[in-house]
Amino acid sequence: MKYKGYQSVVEFDDEAKIFHGEIINIRDVITFQGSSVEQLKQAFEDSVDDYLEFCKQRGEEPYKPFSGKFVVRINPQLHQVIAIRARQEGKSLNSWIEQRLSESIA
C-alpha cells in the first residue's frame, strides 16, 4: 500500500487471523494492523498521519521516503571499468548504473 509517499509491506498471521504491516521506505519503524483489508488500510493511513503529527509536535522533520541518493563504495578497478563503459555508451556514470540496476530487478 502507498499513502502520502510512504510505502508498506503487509503479511497475514494465520494463527492470529490478523494482517500486520510496516512502512518500509523510511528509517523509523512504523507498524499497523487490522483484521480486514479496510481496517488495515485505515490503520496504515492513521499510522502515517499520526507519525507526521508527532514529528510536527516535536518540531522535527519526519523521515521522508528515500531521496534517490546513496553512496556505494566499490573496488577502484571496477569503478574504472564501469566509468569507461558508461563513457563508451555516451552516458553519465549515474545514468549507466541506474539503467543496470533497473535491468537487474526487472
pLDDT tens profile 25-38? 888 899 999 999 99
Residue 65 located in a structural domain: no
* Cα 17 to Cα 2, 11, 12, 34, 36, distances in angstroms: 23, 11, 7, 9, 9
Express each pLDDT in 49-92 by its tens digit.
999 999 999 999 898 777 778 889 999 999 999 999 999 999 99
Which pTM does this prediction carry?
Answer: 0.64
Residue 71 located in a structural domain: no
Residues 86, 93 contacting (CB under 8 angstroms) = yes
Interior angle at CA 77, CA 71 and CA 80, nearest 5? 75
Q: How many domains does the chain have?
A: 2
Which parts of the chain are beta strand (E)? 2-3, 6-13, 18-23, 31-34
Residue 63 located in a structural domain: no
